[in-house]
């Protein structure tokens, strides 16, 4: 590993799929000195913690395990000429691309012409889920579970309860199988799994009960988990288990942005960006799950590539300012990006999420003139995309996207 230089063209914070693909794309598009700063001991991000498949179909046209996929991403970034500095944490970000960095050799400040936030996301904690009861050991999120199993070879429990039904909950189920654990069940507040079919078939195939419309009311145990109280359609009941896996409910890992100077979108909880991935401070960009939680590794990889190209273009000749502002109304949880430059190659789609399951009408208006209207069936965990290419050339003004039930 080479020493950090005081000034670079592009500093990427985070060596997951978005950050590593951005490094490759930026270098290929002409960016000069590119460094990737990663706080963990090895690059690769969340996939490095996953020993199971499938990864890599979008990126490499083959099915790969998470660890092999992460190693391939890192190898490609290094081959492209990017420097990867592990065990290196960015402590603070300052206007104009100044970063305070903690390295194995001590703290230092570096400057970058451009900075990409690719810090990923994290699962919601027990406290944020308002789960009562005692505070024993043996309560993990999926990321911590996979780190113990795949990176350290530790089996933290034998009969855990999995809480959640997003795709990551089924990843936790596969991790349990890999380590010889047999979950006592999966509990989720939704009537049916949020993950797309056929993931929902996995519990049945593995003989693990799935309890919908069920929440965990309390956790019991002193030193270790001994059981939980579940509340479901038939009322409360106690369930014996020796661990609890809290999966899903992702949110961006945005401590740097929150404590810094960047504008934050209260709906996504990530930085406000335009369609080039550019933040409120034009020296900063963001990509992947730093923008919202959560998208797949493949989606983040593709997004990182596009924004890496946009950053290289900005370094070479500058990028025009966005001309459209975006507002999400009605039953929409958020719309991303918040500002649009027609013709941008960074984020090609307007990304939407519904606030609740519904069938309704989605409309897009520009300064009061309707551009699009269509009926859709939406669920909060399902991505809705509208291609920005439908916008008139040279459009400017206020773009309102609205989802209403019925219609």
Residue 12 sits in the same domain as residue 46 = yes
Helices (H), 51-125: 57-60, 66-79
Per-residue pLDDT of the chain (407 residues; tens, 9 = 90+): 456 767 899 999 999 999 999 999 999 999 999 999 999 999 998 888 877 778 888 888 888 888 899 999 999 999 999 999 999 999 999 999 999 999 988 899 999 999 999 999 887 777 767 687 778 889 999 888 988 998 889 999 999 999 998 888 888 999 999 999 999 999 998 888 887 777 778 888 899 999 999 999 999 998 999 999 999 999 999 999 999 999 877 889 888 988 889 999 999 999 999 999 999 999 999 999 999 977 888 999 999 999 999 999 999 999 999 999 999 999 999 999 999 998 888 999 999 999 988 899 999 999 999 999 999 998 887 889 999 999 988 899 999 999 999 86
What does the buried/exposed string (b/e) look like for 182-201 if buried means 16 or more CB atoms within 10 Å of the residue's CB? ebbbbbbebeebbbeeebbe
Residue 111 sits in the same domain as residue 169 = no
339: CATH: 2.60.40
249 vs 145: CA distance, rounded Å = 16
Residue 325 sits in the same domain as residue 265 = no
Residue 62 sits in the same domain as residue 134 = no
Structural domains counted in the chain: 3
* Helix, strand, coil percentages in the chain from 3-state DSSP, rounded to 5: 25, 35, 40
Q: What pLDDT was estimated at residue 2?
A: 58
Residue 137 sits in the same domain as residue 226 = yes
Instruction: Please give the distance of CA 347 from its chain centroid, rounded to a whole number.
Output: 15
Q: Does an H or E element contain 313, and which?
A: helix 297-317
User: Can you read off the two tokens belonging to residue 7?
Assistant: 């000034």
Last residue of one domain, picked from the residues 232, 248, 264: 248
Last residue of one domain, picked from the residues 197, 225, 248: 248
Residue 60 sits in the same domain as residue 84 = yes
Residue 238 sits in the same domain as residue 287 = no
> Domain range holding 130?
125-248
Angle at 355 between CA 354 and CA 361, to 5 degrees: 45
321 vs 324: CA distance, rounded Å = 9
């Amino acid at each position: 590993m080479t020493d950090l230089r005081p000034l670079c063209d592009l500093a990427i914070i985070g060596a997951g799929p978005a950050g590593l693909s951005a490094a490759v794309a930026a270098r290929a598009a002409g960016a000069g000195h590119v460094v990737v700063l990663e706080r963990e001991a090895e690059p690769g991000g969340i996939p490095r913690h996953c020993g199971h498949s499938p990864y890599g179909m979008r990126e490499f046209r083959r099915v790969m395990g998470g660890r092999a996929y992460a190693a391939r991403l890192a190898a490609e970034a290094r081959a492209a000429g990017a420097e990867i500095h592990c065990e290196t944490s960015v402590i603070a970000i300052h206007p104009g691309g100044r970063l305070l960095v903690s390295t194995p050799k001590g703290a230092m400040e570096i400057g970058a012409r451009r900075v990409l936030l690719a810090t990923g996301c994290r699962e919601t904690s027990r406290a944020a889920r308002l789960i009562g009861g005692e505070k024993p050991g043996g309560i993990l999120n999926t990321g911590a579970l996979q780190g113990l199993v795949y990176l350290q070879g530790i089996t933290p429990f034998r009969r855990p309860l999995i809480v959640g039904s997003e795709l990551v909950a089924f990843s936790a189920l596969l991790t349990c199988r890999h380590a010889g654990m047999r979950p006592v069940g999966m509990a989720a507040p939704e009537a049916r799994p949020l993950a797309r079919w056929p993931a929902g078939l996995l519990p049945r195939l593995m003989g693990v009960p799935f309890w919908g419309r069920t929440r965990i009311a309390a956790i019991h145990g002193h030193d270790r988990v001994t059981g939980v109280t579940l509340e479901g359609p038939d009322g409360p009941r106690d369930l014996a288990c020796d661990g609890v896996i809290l999966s899903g409910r992702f949110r961006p890992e945005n401590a740097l942005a929150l404590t810094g100077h960047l504008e934050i979108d209260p709906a996504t909880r990530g930085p406000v960006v335009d369609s080039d991935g550019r933040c409120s401070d034009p020296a900063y960009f963001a990509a992947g799950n730093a923008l919202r939680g959560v998208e797949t590794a493949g989606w983040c990889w593709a997004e990182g590539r596009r924004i890496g190209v946009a950053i290289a273009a900005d370094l070479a000749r500058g990028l025009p300012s966005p001309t459209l502002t975006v507002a999400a109304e009605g039953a929409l949880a958020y719309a991303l990006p918040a500002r649009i430059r027609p013709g941008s190659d960074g984020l090609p789609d307007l990304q939407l999420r519904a606030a609740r399951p519904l069938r309704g009408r989605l409309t897009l208006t520009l300064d009061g003139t309707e551009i699009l209207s269509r009926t859709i069936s939406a669920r909060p965990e399902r991505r809705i995309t509208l291609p920005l290419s439908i916008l008139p050339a040279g459009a400017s003004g206020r773009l309102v996207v609205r989802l209403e039930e019925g219609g």
